[in-house]
Structure 1
Amino acid sequence: MGSWYHPWAAALRIARRDALRAKGRSALVLAMIALPIVGVSAADLTFRSSELSADQRLTRQIGAADARLSPSGLDGPVLQHPDGEHFAPVGGYEKYRPGKEKAQPLKSALPAGAKAAEDTTGHIKVRTTHGLLQSDLRELDVHDPLTRGLFTLDRGRLPRGPGEVIATQAFLDASGLHVGSAVSMRGATAPYRIVGAYELPSKLKNTELLALPGTLFAPLEAALRAEGGSGLPGPTTTSYLVSVGGGEGFTWNMTKEANAKGALVLSRAVALRPPADSEVPLFKEQRKEQYEPVSGGGEVTRKAVLATVVGLAMLEVCLLAGPAFAVGARRSRRQLGLVGANGGNRRHVRSVVLSGGLVIGAVAAVSGTALGVALTLGLRPVLEEQLGARFGGFVVRPLELLGIALLAVLTGLLAAVAPAVTASRQTVLASLTGRRGIRRANRVLPVLGLLAVLGGAAIAVYGTGYRVSPNVVAGGSALAELGIVALTPVLVGVFGRLGGLLPLAPRLALRDAVRNRGRTAPAVAAVLAAVAGTVAVSTYQHSQDVQARHEYTADLPAGSGYLLADSDLGRKEVPALREALAKDLPLGVRADVDRLVAGNPNCARGSTDPGCGRVTLITPKEARCPLWEAENGPASFPPDQARTLRQDPRCAMPEHHAQLDPVVADEKLLAVLAVTDPGSAAALKDGRAVSFDGRNVKDGKVTLRIVTDEAAAGQGAGQGAGQGAGQPAGKRAEPPGQDKVLSVHQAPASAEGWGFTLVVPPAAAKAAGLSTAPAGSYFSLDGKAPTERRQRLEGDIDRLGADAHFKIEEGYQGRSSLGVLALSVFAGLVTIGAAGIATGLAQADSEADLKTLAAVGAAPRVRRTLSGFQCGVVALMGVVLGSAAGILPAVGLRLTQEREQERLVRHGIEMGYATLRDTELYVPIAVPWETLAGLLVLVPLGAALLAALVTKSGGALARRAAG
């Protein structure tokens, strides 16, 4: 035991004393190793704490009840998945016909003798200090034990009777109200008092008001009806929290009995102990795979990102800490020489340097893990707010944290391997005298580096296949980066050929760097590794942003909007709405629009009451989608033929959906829509309609059908131009009515209609005998519309008592992921740390050159300039090489994402819901040139300034050398 124990014990003591003696260098290396450990341990704790157990998740959904019964929305019995989310009507949707059976009351599905608590939800606009806010409303007996776990009361008290509500903190923040404030719903005759604040543990950002059963919706509906309205503006949904007693809970047999009455069930017993597939009737009628989540769903890409980032982070730390240990080894050359002079061999010298890595790694493991725990605890509220959900608890997995800590120790040891080998190879005389000796270039290493670059790139590209582990992408990227590191000495020599083009000081610095490649290459590799991580993260993030911008579907051109009355009943307020719009917003162009009406003008839009009607655009039979003309819809065709027909241009889904279509308007609407076709504007001025969908045009004309009795038309909706928007399962009959034929100008394919298929000028509508009613206005802004002006408009709409829909299209808003942002910040900090290490290494190894300059009388400014350029050159070479190295992992990750999206599209085509537009994948690889330019300028400049500032102007050593 003593043959290995005592030398290592002595080496550890020497390493500990050396670390304490050089506190600055030790702290720098410690920070480099501990920084990723802090991040990884904090991420592990956050993930495990945010991961809810099955019982915790059920408690947040059904409280302390055995089950929750919810309406399925179908008229007859259903078959459901054990998870309570997926379901289908008995016989499948192909045979389901709405209205064929009468839906049973949800309460009839409750088991006999069960205790139940009613939970009703709805939506309405609520008056706030700023104006109007769309909010959720809820009625629930919060005093019932079954509701325990659904919400958490933060402060105040629970409501005790009518006129009292509690509000989520998100509602209070958005509304500007507080506990004790009075709040009123739009249309209510009396305000409610907010007596408490609560939160929904899994929905922290929900704006919601909660009252006792019977105290909110019934009085509000009565007040709205008393004012002549039709009741609540939106539907309410009622579900039941159920307790059946006994030890088995709400069993699978009970669930199937409730399904037979049209109810869906989320049962605690079934979710925790799901039945066998053979006992699930849904799986007997349809494939289970149809109701399983599509495997992957972005998970493959997320795993690839995580594996790549973690792998590169560990590689960065090794490359960054390695030069720092090299600095320490060179500063301790005399001490290591004394070890050899006193009988120590190469193994003992290596053990001293390796012990330094072990000591620093162990301290980094303990401090990094402790900081990770403290950081997670301190940032837990912030993390929960960002995630929008409370943690299930603070979960610590000791084995996982131990593994992370051991990773720090291993990183410290690996980082010290190269300096240890280098130090052990020096002779005792060279160590004691400070001579560097003759260093021969290694001709094998560049060849191995080139092979590693090519092999790593090939492995990374191969790893982008979906069925290949995402770790392959990370491994290939790391191997290629190691290859570039191995090529660094050769590449430094290539940079040296540019020295003749530079001024004196940078030329001397570059030649010094090339002459001392043994010192320059590790420093360049350190900066290379850090910059590669920064470039990889930023390139991946920028590429995702470009893709999201491309995939974003705007409703209107950016800076345009609309203000439309919500129903025909609100047309009397439209002139006042238009005036408020012009008063409150900076308008560029305002296009007033009308809607076509038929039958009783007092009917609400979409009403099927007797005497109510509509005007629908008829698509010629030859231009209609065959899928929707068949008796049973897509089910009438073999799967292969149905997939082919979905790619037919006649079956193309509309990219946009207009609020009104057809619409009555003049040429101002084209200006708002940014349609520059002069023929379209001229047609509207001449009284001709303009079509944006050629499928509706035949021989230069379109047909509008006036359906004057919607009840007689039944389910026979006319074949409109907007096919693909909510198509039925079977063929639709032609609606009866009177046809009006209009001359039309077909807009060119390059003109974006923004969901409008037909624009009819007022003169053409009047000439055809079509009735119109004012609907509102579309507009373009002349400048910006800040939130204060928007709230003022909402307030004016409220004072008018009108139901109106208002929106401004702001265009794509760049989205930033909190995780990617954190990775970018981390990579940037490591890059700065790399520059700092490179500075220290250059100064430590070029100290003799600086003494020589002082001895020959060089001014302090010259020494500072040369030192700054030395470090700046190293940093610049590292940034250039790191930028090239960082592109590879980003390309690998994007290719992984592209393969995954291709698989999802194939799955959609096989299932029959993918269309021609879905097959047009766009997964770009976009380089963030601004970021690269910033790195190329800021990192070398910062490193040069840092080196110049810390370089001593003179000093005892310099004067002693000169003397």
Structure 2
Amino acid sequence: MTTWFHSWRAAVRIARRDAWRSKGRSFLVLAMIALPILGVSAFAVTIRSSELTTEQQLERSIGAADARFTDGHVEGEPLLQDPKGEQSAPVKEYEKTNEPWPDGPTDVTKAIPAGATVLTDARGSAKLTTTHGLLQAEVRELKAADPVARGIMVLTEGRFPEKNDEVAASTAFLKSSGLTIGSTLTARGFDREYRITGAYELPSSLKTEQVNALPGAFLAPYGSAVEKAGIPKPGVDTTYLVRKSGGFTWNDVQTVNTKGVVVQARAVILDPPADSEVPLFQREGWAPWESSAAADAVALAAIGTVVGLAMLEITLLAGPAFAVGARRSRRQLGLVGANGGARSHIRAIVLSGGLVIGVAAAVVGTVLALLLTLALRPLLEEYLGARFGGFTVRPLELLGIAGLAVLTGLLSAIVPAITASRTTVLASLTGRRGVRRSSRVLPVVGLVAFVIGAVIALYGSVVTDQFIVVAGGSALAELGVVALTPALVGLFGRSGRWLPLSPRLALRDAVRNRGRTAPAVAAVLAAVAGTVAVATYTASTDAQSRQGYHPKLPHGAVAAIVTEEGGRDAPAVREAVQRSFPVDMRADVSRISVGRQGCGTWGEGKGCGRFEVVTPPANECPLWTATPDGSDPSERFTKEQRRKLQEEDWRCQSRTGDGVYVEGNMLVADATVLKVLGITDPGAAKALAEGKIVSFSKALIDKNGAVGIRLITDDEAYEKAAQERKPLPGEIKSFPAYLVPGSPPSYGVESVLSPAAAKAAGLSTVPMGAYFTTDHLPSTEQRQKLAGEIAKLGSSVDVTLEEGYVSKYSIVLLALTVFAGLVTIGAAGIATGLAQADAEADLKTLSAVGAPPRVRRTLSGFQCGVVAAMGVVLGSAAGILPAVGLRFTEQRQELAFYQRALDEGWGGIQEPPSVPIVVPWETLAALLVAVPLGAALLAALVTRSRGALARRAAH
């Protein structure tokens, strides 16, 4: 025991001394191991710190109150809820009786127990004045200074409002608005001014733009003012913070539920009842969500695979560096053997190098992670949009992560340790290499692993729908290729006969010294295989997204639609677009207005109506036609009938597609809009001039060749008639129709009516905005200019610019290529350094026989390039397998979804899914050509032409 301890202590001391003497190599390995540890540790500390305890969550939600009472919107009917107050449903199961679910308000105040302290918490929204114009923000009426509300809002500067003409503002609102404490603000259509007295933040929602006022000081008078001005009144959501002696038990919560009120009770959330005591959970489909054991196992397997492959890659990269150290210390190791040291002592010395570097990397990575997380905490909180609950450090987790660093260091040193221990004392002292034989077992194991992994991946992609099967099989196949690397390096050596002198020498040296070449090639292989797999999958996904992209407008076209207040600002918006963008053609568009002026496109507010373009009953898809008893209409058909209807019946196929949303999918405009939409049919413009309605969908045209527009003035009566399957109320205006032939893309617009025809039929219209074509795509500066002008108007405007498909993955592919290139050059550089240490005698011999000095530089460059090229070629071949397997799996899943949609009659699906497999040739070209060439040039540049003078060896 004592001998074992002392021998290892001596080995550690020797390894520590060698690491300090070779600072460059030690720092390189330490950085490779420490960087992943730093990232994982920082991630773990950040996640744990961002997790809130139940008490902290309640403090941010209900402050110091015992409960929050919320209207269940069931018209006072008794309801059931879960213990957290997140889910609720009426006691009566309306879904089983096909009765409409009650959706009316409840008087929450009647459910508050007598003697309780109550604080009103109301939320609404308003367009508030800022230094830039108007900003849509949330307005919250809560007496934030009250002790009951403590913790909901955290004051950062100034004070909370104490008077009705004062407000406090969130820091996010002050940042966006340009206002400061002491500034005044008001709202559009509201003549009252409010002074900002303080700044606060919502700990769990730092990015929320919010203003705080006293209860009744803003929302009620603002709602009355805007309603008189013809602006839709904003909705207000009111809840109540309640505090009473003894709090609220689960029985108290259930008692309050009988009055149609949902309760978020502190005591119940802290000590929830058993699921068997929750009536809501006894209903079918309302059981509490629990994590699936199978899903957890899959997640753990995925994490384990990623961690294992990362450790493998670091081990493969660091292994040659330890081999360099062992090679440079072979005389010292030989002296240990000459003085009676056993092979175990030599292995211990080399392994101790891995242990020393691993422990140092663990300490450095963990300490830096803690310091960086602590220093960057404010930035992390701002990025995540929430304050941490605290700085939470779990020592066992960090110890486990640090253990990975130590394990990685030891694994990296295992092969060099075994190799060094097998070297004879004579060979170590004289510098001779001895006879080296490659293992015959390892290639067999690698080939078996590759075949089994490929079969598993193939099975996962063709038979099952589990991504983890494909990923696991691909990982096993990649490990098999790694094990095959020494044999594959030998195969590469056979191509040397056709190469010039320097590359032939480099290739021969790489093949003769597979112990240092194979790990470097395997490291490059692992990095490139992962890069190629992700790049292939990403490029394929990008191609699928490109195929499935549906433009909202013709390329370069712009739509500016005003969605509120009766289009009052539509003329100003049209002019702003024309001033800011390179407009070529403008088409003004309007919409039909039903009811009083000032209604938005959604018909909000009292006295606001709406319209709909009627689809004749004969043109409705039988799968979607309402049934008298309210049952699912598709159930009237068999599976085969549903499939046939969707595949052959034009009525059951999607009509509008994607596009800019306009009410009723109808525009009131002249023929100019047809040109903007790319409609070149001369008959359409002629029909529009004749007072006809131009239709892009034959489903809207009845048997008389006309299109009907129903004017809905009483929305409640309309909805009631629809539910009761009665004739729908509302006057119908009929127009002769012209169907545009050829089914050209209409970008969501199903019909166009001229202003003259609308006026002749007695229809009122209001401006809605305009469609534009541009000479070229607007620049970023022009877009910002338009956004600033629209912000000054304060209206809600939807601006759509059709740029065509824009790939989201180009930067990903570039980053992957750069990453793989750096890893490749790094691994090849390590192998080259080891080769130079090994080949010093050969270089001296070349110099002695008259080789010019540049041969040393050229040979070094080719040695680096050969390693990089072998790794890139093998990695590229290995990386295609997982990507193809995953794409096949996705294809099967999407095809199954498509078949299910046809069987169940979902509709709107016309073509089978397309899941292309695209090889990213640009990325492969960069890896196969540019990276090895760059590695070779870099190695040649940093290598000295003449070696250092060496002392003549004594014999």
Identify the match of residue 692 of structure 1 among 696, 700, 706. 696
Q: Deviations over 1:137-186 (max 9, x none)?
A: 22211112222222322333323323333333322333333444443332
CA distance in 1, matches of 2:276, 2:145: 41
1:947 is aligned, of 913, 927, 939, to: 939
Q: Which moved more, 1:928-937 or 1:809-818?
A: 809-818
Structure 1, unpaired ranges of 5+: 719-727
Q: 1:748 aligns with which of 721, 742, 747?
A: 742
Return the alpha-carbon distance in structure 1 between the equivalents of residues 871 and 488 of structure 2.
10
The answer on 1:579 being equivalent to 2:582 is: no
Return closer, same or farther for 1:864/1:196 CA change in 2, 3 Å cut-off.
farther
Give SS of 1:159's match. Answer: coil
- Is contact 1:115-1:244 (8 Å) kept? yes
Distance 2:144 2:597 in 1: 45
Structure-2 residue corresponding to 1:722: none
The answer as to whether partners of 1:597 and 1:615 remain within 8 angstroms in 2 is: no
Structure 1 residue 923 displacement after superposition: 6.3
Shift of 1:11: 2.1
CA–CA distance in structure 1, aligned partners of residues 292 and 622 of structure 2? 32
Whole-angstrom distance in 2 between the partners of 1:655 and 1:304: 41
Distance 2:938 2:620 in 1: 71
Aligned with 1:214 (options 213, 216, 222):
216
Take 1:295 and 1:561, find their aligned partners in 2: how far apart are those partners? 47
Q: Following the alignment from structure 2 to structure 1, what is the Cα–Cα distance between the partners of residues 87 and 712?
A: 39
Counterpart of 1:737 in structure 2 is 731
1:779 aligned to 772, 783, 793, which one? 772
In the alignment, what sits opposite 2:207?
205
- TM-superposed deviation, 1:565: 3.6
Classify 1:3/1:575 alpha carbon distance in 2 versus 1 (closer, same or farther; 3 Å).
closer
Question: Corresponding residue for 2:705?
Answer: 701
Shift of 1:341: 1.9
Is residue 153–residue 203 contact of structure 2 (8 Å, CA) maintained in 1? yes
Q: CA deviation at 1:709?
A: 4.6
* CA distance in structure 1 between the partners assigned to 2:813 and 2:303 by the alignment: 10
Matched, 1:936 2:928: yes
Deviations along 1:549-576, one digit per CA (max 9) or x if unpaired, are: 66777644564433334357445x5444
Q: Deviations over 1:894-932 (max 9, x none)?
A: 67777888999999999x997665996666665544444
Correspondence for 1:758 = 751
Tell me if 1:112 matches 2:108: no
| CA–CA separation in structure 2 for the residues paired with 1:485 and 1:680 | 66
Deviates further, 494-503 or 263-272: 494-503
Equivalent residue of 1:193, what SS?
strand
Instruction: Find the counterpart in structure 2 of residue 723 from structure 1.
Output: none
CA distance in 2 between counterparts of 1:780 and 1:62 reads: 52
1:44 aligns with 2:37: no
Choose the corresponding residue for 1:522, options 519, 522, 530. Answer: 519
Contact 2:19–2:353, Cα closer than 8 Å, also in 1: yes
Distance 1:813 1:742 in 2: 40
Kept in 2: contact 1:358–1:409 (CA 8 A):
yes
Distance in 1 between residues matched to 2:306 and 2:916, nearest whole Å = 20
Q: 1:279-318 residue pairs with structure 2 within 5 A?
A: 279-289=277-287, 292=289, 306-318=303-315
Instruction: Kindly state the Cα deviation for residue 755 of structure 1 after the two structures are TM-superposed.
Output: 2.2
Number of aligned residue pairs: 945
Q: Tell me how far 1:739 sits from its aligned partner.
A: 4.7
CA distance, structure 1, for counterparts of residue 816 and residue 484 of structure 2: 27
* Distance in 2 of aligned mates of 1:819 and 1:83: 41
CA deviation string 1:913-954 (max 9, x = no partner):
976659966666655444443333453244323322332232
Q: Determine the C-alpha separation between the residues in 2 that align with 1:828 and 1:150.
A: 50
Aligned to 1:366: 363
**Corresponding residue of 1:724:** none
* Other-structure match for 2:587: 591
- Answer whether contact 2:138 2:209 (CA < 8 A) is retained: yes
CA contact (8 A) 2:338 2:425 kept: yes
Report whether the alignment pairs 1:857 with 2:850: yes
Pick which of 539-548 and 339-348 moved more: 539-548
Query: Aligned partners of 2:901 and 2:207: how far apart in 1?
Result: 32
**Contact 2:298 2:468 survives alignment (8 Å):** no
Amino acid in the other structure paired with 1:57: Q
Counterparts in 2 of 1:625 and 1:797: CA distance versus 1, 3 Å:
farther
Residue 422 of structure 1 corresponds to which residue in structure 2?
419
The verdict on how the C-alpha distance between 1:533 and 1:107 changes in structure 2, with shifts beyond 3 A counting, is: same
- Contact kept in structure 2, 1:311 and 1:475, CA below 8 Å: no
What is the one-letter code of the residue matched to 1:743? Answer: A
Equivalent residue letter for 2:121: D
Question: How far off is 1:523 after superposition?
Answer: 1.9
Q: Which residue does the alignment assign to 2:57?
A: 57
Whichever residue aligns with residue 407 of structure 2, its letter is L
Query: Where do 1:15-94 residues align within 5 Å?
Result: 15-77=15-77, 78-89=79-90, 90-93=92-95
Distance 1:81 1:396 in 2: 33
Structure 1's 390 and 455: CA in aligned 2 closer, same or farther, altered over 3 A?
A: farther
Partners of 1:377 and 1:938 in 2: how far apart? Answer: 41
How far residue 36 of structure 1 moved from its aligned partner, in angstroms, is 1.7
- In the alignment, which residue of structure 2 is the partner of 1:195? 197
Deviations 1:204-242 (A, max 9, x none): 22222222222222343344356x33463x322112222
Aligned to 2:490: 493
Tell me whether 1:394 sits opposite 2:391 in the alignment. Answer: yes
Q: Give the Cα separation in 1 of the matches to 2:761 and 2:739.
A: 16
Distance 1:266 1:536, change over 3 A: farther
2:73–2:102: 8 Å Cα contact kept in structure 1? no
Give the drift of 1:798. Answer: 7.0
Which residue of 1 is the match for residue 431 of structure 2? 434
* 1:874-885 → structure 2 map (5 Å cutoff): 874-885=867-878
Amino acid at match of 1:710: D
- 2 CA distance for matches of 1:295 and 1:84? 23
Which SS does the other structure have where 2:387 is aligned?
Answer: coil
Q: Give CA-to-partner distance per residue, 1:247-278, whole Å, 9 cap, x none.
A: xx333333334433333332333333333444
Distance, in Å, in 1 between the alignment partners of 2:681 and 2:824 is 52
User: Please, which of 547, 560, 563 is the counterpart of residue 563 of structure 1?
Assistant: 560
Deviation at 1:391, TM superposition (A): 2.0
Q: In 2, distance between residues paired with 1:153 and 1:818?
A: 41
Judged with a 3 Å threshold, the aligned counterparts in structure 2 of structure 1 residues 668 and 222 are, in CA distance, closer, same or farther, namely same
Secondary structure at the counterpart of residue 344 of structure 1: coil
Q: Alpha carbons of 1:311 and 1:891: their partners in 2 closer, same or farther (altered >3 Å)?
A: farther
TM-score (norm 2): 0.87
- 1:68-100 per-position Cα deviation (integer Å, ceiling 9, x unaligned): 222334435243333323333432346576697
The residue type equivalent to 1:489 in the other structure is P
TM-score, scaled relative to structure 1: 0.86
CA-CA distance at 1:604 after TM superposition: 6.2
Q: CA deviation at 1:704?
A: 0.8
- 8 A contact 1:485–1:525 mirrored in 2: yes
Q: What amino acid maps onto 2:851 in structure 1?
A: A
Q: What per-residue deviation string (whole Å, max 9, x for no partner) do you get for residues 315-346 of structure 1?
A: 10111111111111111222222222222232
SS in structure 2 at match of 1:204: coil
Larger deviation, residues 262-271 vs 327-336: 262-271
> Residue 177 and residue 157 in structure 1: after superposition, are their counterparts in 2 closer, same or farther (change >3 A)?
same
- Provide the residue aligned with 1:245 in structure 2: 245
**Could you tell me the percent identity over the aligned residues?**
55
Query: Quick check: 1:144 aligned with 2:138?
Result: no
Letter in 2 for 1:585: F
Superposed counterparts of 1:811-822, under 5 Å = none
Does the residue aligned with 1:68 lie in a helix, a strand or coil?
A: strand
Instruction: Provide the rounded CA distance (Å) in 2 between the counterparts of 1:425 and 1:278.
Output: 67
Structure 1 residues 528 and 602: CA distance shift in structure 2, 3 A: closer
In structure 2, what residue type is equivalent to 1:259?
Answer: N
Assess if the C-alpha contact under 8 Å between 2:684 and 2:738 holds in 1: no
Match of 1:866 in 2: 859
The one-letter code matched in structure 2 to 1:85 is E
Per the alignment, do residues 744 and 550 of structure 1 end up closer, same or farther by CA in structure 2, a change over 3 Å counting?
A: same
Query: What is the letter of the counterpart of residue 382 of structure 1?
Result: L
Deviation at 1:406, TM superposition (A): 1.7
Gaps of 5+ in 2: none
